[in-house]
Amino acid sequence: MPITSYKFGYVDPITGNEIADDNGQFVSSVCWKRTSNMTLAANSSGCIKLLQMV
């Protein structure tokens, strides 16, 4: 059971418009430091996000 969730969103590379559908993408990497409230996550399309856990 996940303790949190985050929708990356998807930007069409041709039009630049954000698409609501996730197109089957998934989180492929998550990294965090024990003493920090920041999490680094990357999805299957290569999008990297730095997320603050509050």
For the stretch 2-49, pLDDT in tens is 777 777 777 777 888 887 666 676 777 888 888 999 989 887 777 788
Distance of CA 7 to the CA centre of its chain: 6
Query: CA-CA distance, 33 to 54, in Å (whole number)?
Result: 15
| Per-residue pLDDT at 42 | 85
| Per-residue pLDDT at 23 | 64
Rg of the chain over Cα atoms, rounded to whole angstroms, equals 13
Output the pTM of the full model: 0.60
| Per-residue pLDDT at 38 | 92
**What are the extents of the domains in the chain?**
27-54
